Amino acid sequence: MAAISLRGVEKTYGRGPKANKVIHGVDAEIANGEFIVIVGPSGCGKSTLLRMVAGLEEITVGEIDIGGRVVNRLEPAERDIAMVFQNYALYPHMSVYDNMAYGLKIAKLPKAEIETRVQKAAKILELGALLQRRPRELSGGQRQRVAMGRAIVRQPAVFLFDEPLSNLDAKLRAQTRLEIQKLHQELGITSLFVTHDQVEAMTLAQRMIVMNAGRMEQIGTPEEVYARPATTFVASFIGSPPMNLLRGVADGTRFTTGGQALPLPQAAPRNGELILGLRPEHALWGGSGTDGWQLQVDVVEMLGAERLVYCRLGETLFTVRIDGTLPPPRTGDRLPLQVAAERLHWFDAKTLHRVAS
């Protein structure tokens, strides 16, 4: 196991006026044995950052330290890491056992040591009954477990996962997420896991790094990121459905947006142009026309245990999540809402960063 330190890490492709900077000064300290998820939309630089840790991409500026060693100039094989990719990349002509043992054979480990490592990994991943099968005889989830087993037998200091669940269907993704959680509990190896799926990020991470356009927007536990997003990007990316964001002008206990003056439960942190955020589950259905917010219902979606009510606040789309057992409003209804002061989020209208309340 090993701690990882990212210090001012940048990545630029090309030189001169045509240079394209894709990673903008990432700083992060990852503790020994910690499971970190790097999450963000496609093209935000999360896989590039992971590949720099792995040594598959050259670092333009900054340092990456793994286990107390600066690894900028070390080859991937010298970094004591193991990587699991989206593509399983198994040898089709080899058995599961041989796929898992191949790297150890190349490293010329004794046969007894190889047998011990493969059998231990197979037990952890419940692959014991599949060791003599070929990859074509396995399901997608089983193939991904073999790919993880191939990484485990190397006994690395760091695991790197690059969107390993993307090729699986929804049920297998959920099942494999649980297996990865159990794997980390069993081995306790420092892990970096890249995904664009916020559900994977929220369920797997001890801490998460939210990336946007090559920049680290926030790092924190899933609870911290969800409850106190650092920017409007984080607020809108983490959470499904996303946080409602209203741009307007605050004046004491009034917030004017889209030509409507909304009453606030307490004064805004400052007057002037701000962005107000409220998560759909924190919009309380009830109140009156004088002390609540009045929304017009557009569409209601039934999702089993809950309903999503899509409304209009002036010209702005506003989503409310309500209990599925409640009688639903109908299209065209006026929906009165109450808001609690502790549930409101405030962001600067120019910088888009959180404003302390």
pLDDT tens for 214-229 read 999 999 999 999 999 9
Q: What angle do CA 175, 176, 180 make, to 5 degrees?
A: 125
Cis, peptide link before residue 135, omega less than 30° from 0: no
Q: What are the domain boundaries of the chain?
A: 4-236, 241-348
Whether this model's pTM surpasses 0.85: yes
> Which pLDDT score, from 0 to 100, does residue 290 have?
43
> Which pLDDT score, from 0 to 100, does residue 289 have?
45
**In 3D, which of 348, 354, 357, 310 has the Cα closest to residue 329?**
310
- Three-class secondary structure of residue 103 per DSSP: helix
DSSP 65-111: EETTEE-TTS-GGGTTEEEE-SS----TTS-HHHHHHHHHHHTT--H
> Which pLDDT score, from 0 to 100, does residue 60 have?
95
Q: Are 66 and 73 in contact (CB under 8 A)?
A: no
Q: What is the CATH number of domain 241-348?
A: 2.40.50.140
- Three-class secondary structure of residue 316 per DSSP: strand
Instruction: Compute the distance between CA of residue 184 and CA of residue 202 in angstroms, rounded to an integer.
Output: 15
We find that the CATH architecture of domain 4-236 is 3-Layer(aba) Sandwich (3.40)
> Which pLDDT score, from 0 to 100, does residue 319 have?
94
Instruction: Compute the distance between CA of residue 274 and CA of residue 356 in angstroms, rounded to an integer.
Output: 12
> Which pLDDT score, from 0 to 100, does residue 146 have?
93
Residues of the chain under the 70 pLDDT cut: 286-292
Backbone angles phi, psi at 254, to 5 degrees: -125, 140
> Which pLDDT score, from 0 to 100, does residue 316 have?
87
> Which pLDDT score, from 0 to 100, does residue 292 have?
67
